[in-house]
Structure 1
Amino acid sequence: MTQNAPPESDDDHGRGSGIRFTLEVWHPDCWTLEVTEATDASLIAHTVYNENGHVVKGHFTAYGETEASIDDLVAATRASALTDSVSVMERRHGGDRRGPVRGKPTTELFVEYDSRNTISDALLAGGFYQEAPVRIQGGREYWPLFFETDDRELLADRLDALRDEYDAEITVRRVHSDNRSAINVSHRTDSLSQRQREIFDLACEQGYYSWPREVTTRELADEADISKTTLLEHLRKAESKLLDPTD
């Protein structure tokens, strides 16, 4: 989860622009997803340092409503088969008003792990640039990203390739216009088929796009009386259409 600044946008020179958006990501064999799903605490991923080959050391902020929840997360991280070492660097009992988590107890961690079990390198290779620290909450990663072109079809293809390569669940949570104002995709459904709109509306109603997510894909598929694969296909097609604010 290395921070990579986005390239200078062509929009600065009047020749076009890229796309800014937030992705919600789940994929197998990721320790951050495992420990945040198993405990009541969350993580913010900052900088990653290359230690030796595929072994990296990441700087994380663990936070939660209680110090006990953070202790549980640290213990789960140490116990994970996907981590090599864990160093607890600093504990702030009352939170830091100037930091990334206001008013909550936090702990700074350095964790060694195998970079091949993350999706960060694949995102960079696919033309996605990280714009801010990644939040990991409830077994999901939230990536604020910049895509290097405004080609929506190419973006959808790249996301599908990531889903296939990593057996990942990837959802577009929010798209930003060129001036970085947020576009609420739930208000732009005219381009969807009737079935896509039904599934998308159901997802919105059940809290699939809330923070944190209030329903799992399995629960949503059961509610719609369809398979999980079919549900995700409907949502992917809907999200692909909703990516383009000019529709």
Structure 2
Amino acid sequence: MGDASGLQLTLTVWHPGCWSIEVTAETAGGLLAHAVYRTSDGNVRSLFTAYGDTAAEVDALVAAIRDSERTRSVLELEERYGSREATPEAGGAARELFVEEEPGHSVNDAFVSRGFLHDQPIRIVDGVEFWPVFYRGSRAELEAALEEIRETRDAEIEVTRISSSGPPRGSTLRRVDRLSEAQRDAYELARSEGYYSWPRAITVRELAAKQGVAKTTFLEHLRKAEAKLLDP
């Protein structure tokens, strides 16, 4: 196998005893996990971006992180993405944190030790982790490695995207054809207005207003569209 060969994956992951899964299930907003470090005393310290549509959502999320029985300390860093307050330009708010926890709750080592490499930051929202990773091995080896993690960590893991060398040209366009008209309209509007940029350029509430529908209706169409587009 050549040096560049391998598998590009997107995984959805749930595992018990994880504070980031618990707090995002209980509050609005989400987390981006950028890096994981081992401290000298054996604890795990991770760099996160906490984000939300408003500063109040982020405040509530950070408070839940501090209150969790599974976190040891929370250190807030100087912000790189602008003000904590929601702005029309950013469409939301973000705060960067170092969160320290005892070893044993994170599954990062379980993945890294089996040859998985982070491709982008892990996104945690609505009580689920989304892992974009690279795996240098065959599909049979991949499934064996994932099954080991499922069994040893009591984890629920689903492969939502897989390719040998990145998505084939035109594959996303073909998946767009599977969307209903309402789902396509919601997705195209979100994409064109910068909803998927970081920081987000617009909120779901603002997108719904542009389309002239209720926020819950727009969000339902958008989430169904995203699910179909992620399906390999």
| TM superposition score category, shorter chain reference | 0.5 to 0.7
Displacement, 1:155?
A: 0.9
TM-score of the two chains, using structure 2 as the length reference: 0.67
User: Cα gap change, 1:53/1:73 in structure 2, threshold over 3 Å: closer, same or farther?
Assistant: same
Distance 1:210 1:54 in 2: 38
Residues 1:42 and 2:33 are matched in the alignment = no
Displacement, 1:176?
A: 2.7
Matched AA of 1:114: E
Any stretches of 5+ residues in structure 2 without a counterpart? 176-222
Q: Is the Cα–Cα contact under 8 Å of residues 130 and 146 in structure 1 kept in the other structure?
A: yes
User: Cα gap change, 1:179/1:84 in structure 2, threshold over 3 Å: closer, same or farther?
Assistant: closer
Q: Is the Cα–Cα contact under 8 Å of residues 18 and 146 in structure 1 kept in the other structure?
A: yes
Displacement, 1:93?
A: 2.9
1:137 match: 125
Q: State the identity %.
A: 38
The partner residue of 2:149 within 159, 162, 173 is: 162
Matched AA of 2:128: R
Residues 1:153 and 2:130 are matched in the alignment = no
1:57 match: 45
TM-score of the two chains, using structure 1 as the length reference: 0.64
Residues 1:210 and 2:227 are matched in the alignment = yes
Matched AA of 2:140: E
Distance 1:160 1:207 in 2: 28
Displacement, 1:54?
A: 2.8
Any stretches of 5+ residues in structure 1 without a counterpart? 1-8, 97-101, 188-205, 214-238, 243-247
RMSD: 3.0
Q: SS where residue 39 of structure 2 aligns?
A: strand
Distance 2:85 2:160 in 1: 31
Q: SS where residue 56 of structure 2 aligns?
A: helix
Distance 1:175 1:142 in 2: 13
User: Cα gap change, 1:130/1:95 in structure 2, threshold over 3 Å: closer, same or farther?
Assistant: farther
Distance 1:32 1:158 in 2: 23
Alignment of 1:90-129 (within 5 A): 90=78, 92-93=83-84, 103-129=91-117
